[in-house]
A and B are shown apart, each in its own frame.
Chain A
Amino acid sequence: MDADQSTISGWGGLPHPGREVFSEDLVRLSKDAVLSRGLGRAYGDSALPPPGTLDVATTILADRILAFDEQSGILRAEAGLDLHQINWLFLERGWFTPVTPGTQYVTLGGMVAADVHGKNHHVEGCFGAHVTALLMRVADGRILECSAQHEPELFWGTIGGMGLTGHILEVEFQMKRIPSPWIQGESMRVPDIEEFVRLLKESGDAWPFTMGWIDCVSTGASLGRGILYRGRWAESGSRAEAPQSKRRLSVPINLPNFTLNKLSVKLFNESIYRTHIPSKKAGLQHPEKFFYPLDKILHWNRIYGKRGFTQYQCVLPNSAGQGAARRFLEFLTKQGGASSFLCVIKDCGAEGQGMLSFPMPGISIALDIAVDANTQSLVNLLNGEVIEMGGRIYLAKDAFTRPEDFRLMEPRLDQFLELRRKWDPDQKFRSAQSVRMLGDRA
C-alpha cells in the first residue's frame, strides 16, 4: 500500500489517499466495499475512504434504467445513473426529476445519500421525499429492498445518510410531469439582504423555483445585495423545438492560485451585479441554463488552483428571527469575509423524513471558501454562529466541521447512530467524513 501514491478528492479538490474501483456490476462491486461513490460532486470528504482504506466503489458504470412507466412516471434505475442522462432522455418526453441540485453531474445514489434539495425545496422537499424504493446491500451482506413501508428505518436513515448505512444498488422514484421542456424565468437585482429574504419568501407562493446569488463582498447598506432568480415550467406550446443539450467547456488545468484573490473576487461579484441590466429580466429559458449555470464549464472547481476549496453551507432556521441572515453575513464580513466567487441563498421549506437530511424551514446560505491556513478557524467561528441560531450545516459540502460542533447542531444524530449500530454493528461502512466527524474507527 505504501508504494501506491494514488489520491482522490471531493469536488473541493483537496487530495486524499484513495482509489476508485469501477464495475457495471454493483452486486459484485459492493460485496466488500466500505463506501460507495458516485460522480464525486460532494465538496468535502463524504465520498472519500476512511484512513487506512484505499478503495471506494464508484458506481458510474452502473447506469441502466430498469423500468419507466409512462403512465405513473415511476422510474427505476441502477444507482450510478446520472441526472445529465435522465434530463437528456426525459425532458423532451415531458418528464423531469422532481428535485435537482445545482449540477446535473450527480448520480441517483449520490442524490439519495445526500438527500439533495433544489430551488423548489419550499414546494417539493428533498429528493428523498420522491423515492419509492431502494435496493441495498447492507453490512451483513444481504441485498434487500426498502421503502417507507418495508424497513422504513433503514430507508429513512439511508436518505441523507451519506453512504453510511450501506450501498444503494437501485433507486426507484417518482418523476414529475412537465407541461413543456422550457422554463419561464425571471431574474432581478435585489439591493440588500432584508429585501432578499423578503422576496424569496414572497416568491415562494407563486414560483416553484427560487434562489439567489449574493455578492458577499459588499458591506454596509448593500450587504447581501445580489440577484434573485425564479422560474416555473412554461406552458405547453411556448416554443416548438425541444432544448438541445450543449457542449461544454472545461477548465483544463488547475489555474495558478493568484487568479483568485480579494481583488478578482470583488471585481467578479461587482460585475455580475452591475451587468444585470435591466434590473429585471424575464423570458423563456433553457432548463440547463436555469438549473445548472455552473455546468457550462466542466471542472470549474479547478479555478481554485491546487490548494483546493470548500463550500460552507448552512441553514438558518426561521425560528432565529428575521434578522438572522443579516447577522450571519455581518459576522462573516467581520471575519474578513470569504474570498468567494459564489454565494448562494435559498429558501428552505419543511424538514423531510431523511434522518440526517440537511434542510429545515429557514434560509440556506452557501459560500465557496478557498482553503488556506485560516479556513479551519473560520469554519469553527461560522459554526458557532449557526449553532447559536439553531441551524446546521450540509454534510455533502463539509470538510472542516468539528465533531463537537456537529453534535450540537444535530439532535437527530443519536437516532442515526442507533440505526447504524443495529444494521452495521462492526462499522463496516465508513468514510473519511464519518471517521472525522462521527468518531468511527479508522
Chain B
Amino acid sequence: MKVAFLGASKGMGRALARRMAARGDELCLLGRDLEDQRRTALDLSARAGSSREIPVHHCDLEQPEGFAQALKHCEESLAGLDCVVVTAGVYDAQENLEADTDWARRLMTINFSNTVAFCEEARKRLLARGGGTLCVFSSVAGERGRKPVVIYGASKAGLSAYLEGLDHKFRAAGLRTVCIKPGFVKTGMTAGLKPPPFAGEPDQVAGVVLRAIDKGTPVAYAPGIWALVMLAIRSLPRFVMRKIGF
C-alpha cells in the first residue's frame, strides 16, 4: 500500500506509521518540520529493517495553500497513492481556549477547516486514481457537547460530520473514508492529564486503525471499548450531561 501520512512524527501517528512500515507499506511523510520528519523516516526504516528511503515533504495544517502540492509530491515520490492518513491535530484544555479566543480560532481552523481542506485535496487525488482509502483521526470528544472539551469537541464534531458525509457520497465511486474516534490515549497530547479508566496505548490504537483501514470500516473507536463507553454517553439525557463534570 502506498500511503501519504500527515502526522507520523508523534503519538498515535508515530505508532501507526511504525506498524505500516513494518509490514512493508510504502510511506511518504508530511509534516511541518522537515528535519524532524527526516528523523521519523530514519526510525521507520531502521525498525522495518528496510533500506528503502522514506520521502518527506513539508505540509503545515496552518498553510492550506501547500496542501495540493504536498499530496502531489507524495503521489510522485511513491509513484502511486492508495491511502491518505491524517493523524495531525491539536488539543488544549478548555480553560486555555476560553482565555485566548485567537488560539481557539486557530485550533478550530487546524482541526476542522484546514483538515477538511486537506481531505478535499486527498479526495480528488484518490478519486482521480479510481479510488483509495482516506483515514482521518477525529475524536470521541466530537460525540456530545461536554464541559471540558466545548471547543476542541466542536472542532472534532464538525470533522466527524464531514467524514460521514464524504463516506456516503463517494464510497460507491471507490473512496473509502475511515473515521477514527480515539478515546483517551496516552500520548504527548494528554501527558498532563490524569488517565481515566480504559485509557489506551498508541500501539494498541494503531492495531485497531490498521484493521479498520484494511477493511474500510467507516467509523472505528480505539481502543474498541470506547464504542461502549460512547454508547452510554450518547444516551445520557441532556439534563444529566449538564450536571456532570466530564
A: residues with CB less than 8 A from B are 20-25, 61, 64-68, 70, 89, 93
Instruction: Say whether B49 contacts A64, CB under 8 Å.
Output: no
Do residues A93 and B49 form an inter-chain contact, with CB atoms below 8 A?
Answer: yes
Contacts of B36 in A (CB 8 A): 25
Q: Does any Cβ of A come within 8 Å of B10's Cβ?
A: yes
In the bound complex, residues from chain A placing their C-beta under 8 Å from that of B188 are 22-24, 61
Given contacts A22-B188, A22-B191, A61-B188, is CB(A68)–CB(B46) below 8 Å? yes
> Is B138 part of the contact surface with A, judged by Cβ < 8 Å?
no
Set of chain A residues within 8 Å of B10, measured between Cβ atoms: 24, 61
Question: Cα distance A22–B190 when bound, in Å?
Answer: 10
5 contacts between A and B (CB under 8 A): A21-B191, A22-B188, A61-B187, A66-B42, A89-B47
Q: How far is the CB of B118 from chain A (nearest CB, A)?
A: 22
Q: How far is the CA of A24 from the CA of B10 in the complex (A)?
A: 7
Contact with A along B23-66 (1 / 0, CB 8 A): 00000000000001001101100110100000000000000000
How many A-B residue contacts, CB cutoff 8 Å? 33
Among B36, B43, B46, B187, chain A packs the most CB atoms within 10 A around the CB of B46
Whose C-beta in chain A lies nearest to the C-beta of B9? A24
Q: Is B191 touching A65 in the complex (CB atoms < 8 A)?
A: no
Q: How far, in Å, is B26 (CB) from chain A's closest CB?
A: 19
Q: Check B46 against A65 for contact (C-beta < 8 Å).
A: yes
Beyond A24-B188, A61-B188, A93-B49, is A67–B42 a contact (Cβ under 8 Å)?
A: yes
In Å, the complex CA distance between A25 and B31 comes to: 15
Leading 10 A-B pairs by shortest Cβ distance: A64-B43, A22-B191, A65-B46, A68-B46, A65-B43, A24-B10, A66-B42, A61-B188, A64-B39, A22-B188
Interface of chain B residues 1 through 38 with chain A (CB within 8 A): 9-10, 14, 36
Which of A25, A61, A67 interacts with B46 by CB under 8 Å?
A67
A64-B40 in contact given A24-B9, A89-B47, A93-B49 (Cβ < 8 Å): yes
Kindly provide the distance from the CB of B192 to the nearest chain A CB, expressed in whole angstroms: 8
Contacts A22-B188, A89-B47, A93-B49 given; indicate if A65 touches B9 (C-beta within 8 A): no
Chain B: interface residue total (CB-CB under 8 A): 14
* Shortest Cβ gap from A224 to chain B (Å): 42
Q: Mark B179-200, 1 if CB is under 8 A from A, else 0.
A: 0000000011001000000000
Q: A22-B188, A24-B188 are in contact. Are A65 and B42 (CB under 8 A)?
A: yes
A23 to B191, CA, bound (A): 8
B39, A66: Cβ atoms closer than 8 Å: yes
Q: Which residues of A contact B39 (CB under 8 A)?
A: 64, 66
State the Cβ distance, A88 to closest chain B Cβ, in Å. Answer: 10
A61-B188, A64-B39, A66-B43 given. 15 additional CB < 8 A pairs? A21-B191, A22-B191, A23-B188, A23-B191, A24-B14, A24-B188, A25-B36, A61-B10, A65-B43, A65-B46, A66-B46, A67-B42, A67-B46, A68-B46, A93-B49
Within the assembled complex, what's the spacing in Å between the Cα atoms of A61 and B10?
Answer: 8
Return chain B residues, CB-CB under 8 Å to A65: 42-43, 46-47
Residues in B with CB closer than 8 Å to A66 are 39, 42-43, 46
- A64 to B191 alpha-carbon distance, docked (Å): 18
Give Cα A61 to B191, complex, Å.
10
CA distance A111 to B191 in the complex (A): 24
Bound state CA distance, A66 and B47, in angstroms? 10
Q: Which residues of A contact B187 (CB under 8 A)?
A: 61
Chain A residue nearest in CB terms to B38: A66
Closest B residue to A89 using CB positions? B47
Query: In the complex the two chains form, what is the Cα distance from A243 to B150 in whole Å?
Result: 48
